Structure 1
Amino acid sequence: MPAHFPLPETRHPLILPDGTPHEGTVFLKAVIDHPNWEVGDYSYASSFDPPEDWAARLAPWLHPGTPESLRIGRFCQIADGVRFVTASANHRYDGISTYPFAIFDGFGDRPSLPSWTPENFPDTVIGNDVWIGAGAMILPGARIGSGAIIGAGAVVKGEVPPYAVMGGNPARVIRRRFDEACIAGLLDIAWWDWPIEDILAAESEIAGGDIAALRRIAAARA
């Protein structure tokens, strides 16, 4: 393992060639202190206008005490302008008006708010090694499989298959990065769960396209 590789609790893990930290890139584990968030090691976010409060910037409607959570796996990459629109942003829309009277008058169990059920307040779940492009919007309850790529500006809802490339509004599957057998093998290998020393030792295989070589490394670790 290279001596300089940052720990997952490092706030600014990207060091520029002149030796200064890139303040617009953070490991999320170091900057998120929020009861409704779960963040895996080495997942990072970047911003051209870095905020004081990364949780509020990325998921502005996710407040402490609301029923839903945002769960992000390991080694995810979140570009500038990404927003997670979590379920507390939703209004009731099964009646005549969508106006949330109760939020200005004490909240509580009121008829102008959706009832606090798992169906109305689903968790948003991002797998491992997911790349979310600039300006993408992730809607309430989205579940993005590991290895997926979300294109810039995409609006994502529902289930995203592992290793899918998504784009558009609403986002659709543009292509799968590998065939079904390869995807199953990669999910079984789950390199993101390895110790960081093993991951870095296999960097060429993980970053390259030789799945058979990665399988051999995984088998040798077993």
Structure 2
Amino acid sequence: MSMIFKPKKDEKLSISPSIHNSSFIIDSYAGAWTSIGERNKIIESKFGDYTYTMDDVTVNYSEIGKFCSIASHACINPVQHPMDRVTQHHMTYRKVDYGFGDQDDHEFFDWRRTNRVKIGHDVWIGHGAIIMKGVEIGTGSVIGSGAVVTKDVEPYTIAAGVPAKLLKRRFSKETAEKLLKIAWWDWPREKLEAHFEELNDTEAFIRKFGS
């Protein structure tokens, strides 16, 4: 992984991930052409090729596809507290820090790990959006700024609000199904370069590759 401190405007990305050295990352993977912005906190998560984050993004226990765009201050799978216990304070599962035991509550952390967020490909997550535990975000969807997503989001739809609700579909179901079938995000770099300009015209793109 490469570190970039205050990258210049003409700084180019590369096959190696570009990760700002102010970000805190534990046990995570970033694919080719990825970019992680300033002051990110990323725990046990995976980023597909070409996905990028802006500043002050938090990602915990999540699987994020390729070509995703994550705006600043987004929070994916935020920290949870045990509301069923007498106290919600994290001392009950961080026992060592507070001198209440020799081991932390591993069951609680295992529960967090099993409730992973799964985000498809080419998803745009707006500024300050929150994606709650266990949610699946479909490929090609848009999550509005400030949204709190508590339920799964279908592919190629736009969801916003608190809690987030379906606002509209980006394309007809037929078009969405064809794009999912084409799966351009899995194309090798050479094919993507050859047809790069064609990504700007959805109808022509489907006519050419959707048969």
Using the size of structure 1 for normalisation, the TM-score is 0.69
- Counterpart of 1:73 (choices 65, 68, 71) is 65
1:164 partnered with 2:157: yes
Structure 2 residue 104 is matched with structure 1 residue 108 = yes
Cα–Cα, structure 1 residues 29 and 125, in superposed 2: closer, same or farther, change >3 Å? farther
Q: Which residue of 2 aligns with 1:21?
A: 11
- Give the whole-Å Cα distance in 1 for the aligned partners of 2:153 and 2:63: 15
**Runs in 1 of length 4+ with deviation above 4 angstroms?**
8-12, 25-28
User: 1:145/1:127 Cα in 2 relative to 1: closer, same or farther (>3 Å)?
Assistant: same
Query: 1:21 and 1:199, CA in 2 relative to 1: closer, same or farther beyond 3 A?
Result: same
Number of corresponding residues: 184
Aligned to 1:58: 58
Q: Check the 8 A contact 1:83/1:137 in 2, yes or no.
A: yes
Aligned residue in 1 for 2:18: 30
Q: Using a 3 Å threshold, how does the CA distance of structure 1 residues 133 and 121 change in structure 2: closer, same or farther?
A: same
**Correspondence for 1:45 among 46, 53, 56:** 53
- Unmatched segments (≥5 aa) in structure 1: 1-7, 52-56, 63-68
Distance 2:143 2:50 in 1: 18
Find the partner of 1:91 among 78, 81, 84: 81
Structure 2 Cα separation of the partners of residues 216 and 209 of structure 1:
10
The Cα shift of 1:104 comes to 4.1
Q: Is the 8 A contact 1:145 1:161 kept in 2?
A: yes
How far does residue 218 in structure 1 lie from its aligned partner after superposition? 5.6
- Residue type of the alignment partner of 2:181: D
* Aligned 8 A contact 1:28 1:45 in 2: no
1:209 deviation in Å?
2.7
Corresponding residue for residue 203 of structure 1: 196
Q: Is the 8 A contact 2:69 2:123 kept in 1?
A: yes
Q: Is the 8 A contact 1:189 1:215 kept in 2?
A: no
The range that moved more, 184-193 or 96-105, is 96-105
* Paired residue type of 2:52: Y
Runs of 5+ consecutive residues of structure 2 not aligned to the other structure: 20-24, 29-43, 97-102
| AA in 1 matched with 2:18 | A
Shift of 1:214: 3.0
Deviation at 1:166, TM superposition (A): 0.9
Percent identity between the aligned chains?
A: 31
Aligned residue for 1:92, secondary structure, equals: coil
Select the structure with the greater relative contact order (CA < 8 A; seq sep ≥ 6).
Answer: 1
Q: CA deviation at 1:102?
A: 2.4
Alignment of 1:143-154 (within 5 A): 143-154=136-147
More strand, by proportion: 2
RMSD: 3.3
Q: Counterparts of 1:30 and 1:218 in 2: how far apart (Å)?
A: 33
Distance 2:177 2:131 in 1: 25
- 1:176 matched to 2:172: no
TM-score by length of 2: 0.72
1:137 aligns with 2:130: yes
In 1, the alpha carbon distance for the partners of 2:3 and 2:109 equals: 39
